Chain A
Amino acid sequence: MDRCRLCDMRRERNSDYCAFHLEAVKNLEEAYEVWRKALQIEWKEFLELASERPETGQWAREAAINLLRGGREA
């Protein structure tokens, strides 16, 4: 299966995601460092909060929800 687990687009090599969702996952990982420092929160709580923010982009939200449901990281 060479499709992204979130949008059915072609997935990147060595990843479960397409280029867009992979980029979103990387952005989540980078942003988590800022959130953790700012709010002293865990990864899961961060994903919950980030997925609810209106500023969060559509792909980043989809990636966050997928990771919350136990999806693997990049």
Chain B
Amino acid sequence: MTGRTLVICEKPTAARRIAKALDEDAAPQSFTERGVPYFVARRGGEDLIVVSALGHLFTVAQDGGGWTYPVFSMRWVPAYEADKRLSRTKNFIDVIGRLASGVGGYVSACDYDMEGSLIAYMILLNVCVEESLSLSRRMRYSTLADRDLERAWEGMSDRLDFRLIEAGKARHEVDWLFGINLTRALTLSVKNATGFYRTLSIGRVQGPTLKLIRDREVEIRSFVPTPFWVIKADTKVGRKTYPLEYGKPRLETREEAEGVASSCKGKDGVVQTIRTTRQELPPFPPFNLGDLQREAYNKLRYSPRTTLTAAERLYLDALISYPRTSSQRLPPSIDLRQILEGLRRKKEYAELAGMLLSKQRLTPRQGKKDDPAHPAIHPTGGVPLRLGRVEGRIFDLICRRFMAALGDTAVRENADADVDVNGHRFRLRGSRILERGWMAFYEPYVKQREIELPPLTEGQAIPIKRVESIERYTRPRPRYNPSSLLKLMEDEAIGTKATRTDIIDTLYKRGYVENREIELTDLGFAIVETLSRYNPEILSVEMTRDLEQDLESIQTGRASAEDVVEEAVNMLRPVLAEFRSKESEIGAEIDDALRRMAQRATALGPCPGCGDGEIRVIRNKKTGKRFAGCSNFFEGTCDVSYPLPQRGSIRATGKSCPSCGAPIIRVIRRERRPWELCVNFDCPAKEK
């Protein structure tokens, strides 16, 4: 031992925190070399050189040249060699290499997960001396709070977590194999069929995700509503009006609905039976990542990406535990009182934390899901000095959820009264919270609608103030939003908690989906439809799920990384061979679909002037401005044209103006509500 140990961290912010926590005086020396920060901490008579990576410094790349497919030969290379945009990683590799010379020990202190383990492993393997792998130890921590880091240092394992590393390595290699081969297959199919180059990409998890979105889109676009009727009625007891629910939630014919309404009109109701029940409402378990992202979307309208970014910042600020966790459980090793003592220092939580601290025993509500690596997301007890708006709200959500999980069961009283109105059964529903329990801690994120019923007796007559039948129509299931899509991916077991958010982002970036209520674009449709026809395996949820399970089994030692990568190659081989054999058809079909869809995107609807032409969006070649004109203009048989808004995107609605017959268009502008208008500037309806 030379008295110097290299401690490898994942990010510069984490390195700073770790160095400070491990230094005996909490004041490590700080250095920067070629823009790379590192720290020297003193502990137990030893110098700890705390260095940082910049995420992954090494990546998978093709072994050999040529832009073709299939490609199954790969190797790990420095990230800057594979992607010029990552040139900064060269400095990190060089500086770590210099600092590693002559050290006697190595510690992997990256985040305790697959990616973190792989980042440190690749640095040790490629930058440090050969025996570094056998001399390396592993710190395992779930928060960047000083006490947890010190505990992790004292209790670190004397070897690297090789199963996690193997699983991470295999995942990168499998994803690379799918990504590179399918992207090249798609792109080359169009290029070879048409001569035009356009990058079209698809990944291992993106394909099945896109297919799930496509299935919902097809369902919505071919949906036909059906009518039904509901009976709405009110009664007045004392001075207050109460809604009455009709016994049948839906009536199938107008005749039946109108019959019920007319037979109840002007009649009194008679209270038949009154029931009161007590319902216990246990608190929610603490958050795992998926729950946090969904709750933040539902309550704060933050996208999963926004929530994850904010949570990662809070983690790096040592305010919350590691967010990429599946666990909904808080193990006994977590000092709940210490966390609450910390939260009590913050004005907003002082009273609530005090209430919990006054309890004899703190027993958190535990969820079903667990994660061997990390507990549920919880505050560390650290108090933020200043937080941005998003981080502040996410922090508040996490703190309140944590405290609510320690709260008592809430109790609600439900009171129902059956009311007979001229032979028709209605129900008067009431509910009130008897004991708020955990709800007091989860304000304002929990809302209870309380209707307190008046004192009623069986046989009492109550007047019916309003009764009417209302016609309604069934609706299609809604489009996915980023939050519900995330949940679907979780339920279908495709992707991992760490990758799902990125996959959804990628679908947006590639132009396959758009809008918050996720809508498949024409390009997305073209890709899914063509692959469904020729290579349905690529879109198969089952195949992706099976591979996902195999990747997970590397972690548990039930499968080897080599076998899983080989299995992926064996899955891809026939798919790519099939692709190659039908390349010209696939390419022509995608190209055809893209052209058709581009043409359709300009079509707004039938021309009201000539009747057989189509109103299309046309650009003036001189001015670049757009307008709408009849397709028969170029035949010289129709000269109908309309001006168009020059900003935003324009979509056909399939509707024609009832007043003038011109197409109705939808104009979509960023950060504005889409609006629909008749394309005819001189439409008589507008003059009115």
A: which residues have CB within 8 A of B?
A: 7-9, 20-21, 23-24, 27-28, 30-31, 34-35, 37-39, 50, 53, 55-62, 64-65
24 contacts between A and B (CB under 8 A): A7-B600, A8-B596, A8-B600, A20-B222, A21-B222, A23-B222, A24-B221, A27-B222, A31-B224, A34-B227, A34-B252, A35-B226, A35-B227, A37-B252, A37-B253, A39-B227, A50-B224, A53-B473, A55-B225, A55-B475, A56-B223, A57-B220, A57-B221, A57-B223
B218 interfacial by beta-carbon distance below 8 Å: yes
> In the complex, which residue of chain B has the Cβ closest to the Cβ of A25?
B222
B interface residues (Cβ-Cβ under 8 A, vs A): 218, 220-228, 252-254, 473-476, 593, 596, 600, 654-655
Within 8 Å by CB of B476, from A34, A35, A57, lies: A57
In the complex with contacts A20-B218, A62-B654, A50-B600 CB distance below 8 A: no
Would you call A55 and B476 a contact (CB within 8 A)? yes
Instruction: Name the contact of B224 in the complex, choosing from A8, A21, A57 (C-beta under 8 A).
Output: A57
A24-B221, A55-B225, A61-B654 given; 14 more Cβ-contact pairs under 8 Å:
A8-B596, A20-B221, A34-B227, A34-B252, A38-B226, A39-B227, A53-B225, A55-B223, A55-B476, A57-B220, A57-B222, A62-B654, A64-B224, A65-B654
Closest residue on chain A to residue B599 by CB atoms? A8
- Say whether B254 contacts A58, CB under 8 Å: no
For the complex, give the distance between the alpha carbons of A55 and B477 in Å.
Answer: 10
User: Per a CB cutoff under 8 Å, which of B218, B227, B476 touches A23?
Assistant: B218
Given A34-B226, A37-B253, are A55 and B473 also a contact pair (CB < 8 Å)? yes
Contacts known (A38-B252, A38-B254); A27 close to B223, Cβ less than 8 A: yes
Task: Name the distance in Å between A29's Cβ and chain B's nearest Cβ.
Answer: 9
Tell which of B224, B228, B473, B654 has the most Cβ of chain A within 10 Å: B224
CA gap between A55 and B475 in the complex, in Å: 6
Nearest chain A residue, comparing its CB with the CB of B606? A65
Which of B253, B474, B596 meets A55, CB within 8 Å?
Answer: B474
Decide yes or no: A38 and B224 within 8 Å by CB, A7-B600, A57-B476, A62-B654 being known contacts. no
Q: Is A38 a contact of B222 with CB atoms below 8 Å?
A: no
Q: Which residue of A lies closest to B653 (CB)?
A: A58
Min C-beta distance of A4 to chain B, whole Å: 10
The CB with the most chain B CB atoms within 10 A, among A30, A38, A50, A64, is that of A38
9 nearest interchain CB pairs? A31-B224, A55-B225, A24-B222, A34-B226, A57-B223, A57-B221, A27-B224, A59-B221, A23-B222
How far, in Å, is B259 (CB) from chain A's closest CB? 13
Residues of chain B contacted by A9 (CB below 8 angstroms) = 593, 596
Give Cα distance in the complex from A24 to B223, angstroms.
7
- Chain A nearest CB, measured from B586 CB (Å): 13
B226 touches which one: A20, A31, A59, A65 (CB < 8 A)? A31
Query: Using Cβ atoms and an 8 Å threshold, which residues of chain A touch B476?
Result: 55, 57
Q: Which residues of A contact B227 (CB under 8 A)?
A: 34-35, 38-39
Are B221 and A58 in contact, CB atoms less than 8 angstroms apart? yes
Contact residues in B for A37 (Cβ distance below 8 Å): 252-253
The CA-CA distance from A34 to B254 in the complex, in Å, is: 12
Q: Specify which chain B residues have a CB less than 8 angstroms from the CB of A62 in the assembled complex.
A: 654
B654 x A24 contact (CB < 8 A): no
What is the bound-complex CA distance between A50 and B226, given in angstroms? 9
Smallest CB gap from A34: residue in B = B226
Chain B residues, CB < 8 A from A20 = 218, 221-222
Q: Which of B222, B225, B475, B596 gathers the greatest number of chain A CB atoms within 10 Å? A: B222
**B223 in complex: contacting residue of A7, A8, A34, A60, CB < 8 Å:** A60
Contact in complex: B654, A58 (CB < 8 Å): yes
Residues of B within 8 A of A61 (CB): 654-655
Residues of A within 8 A of B593 (CB): 9
- Closest residue to A31 on the B side, CB-wise? B224
B65 to chain A minimum Cβ distance, whole angstroms, is 38
CB contacts (< 8 Å) of A38 on chain B: these are 226-228, 252-254
Chain A residues with CB under 8 A of B226: 31, 34-35, 38
Point out the residues of chain A lying under 8 angstroms from B473, CB to CB.
53, 55
Chain A min CB distance to B16 (Å): 54
Nearest B-chain residue to A58, judged by Cβ: B221
Q: Cβ of A21: which chain B residues have Cβ within 8 Å of it?
A: 222
Chain A's closest residue to B533 (CB) is A10
Contact present for B224 and A60 (CB under 8 Å)? yes
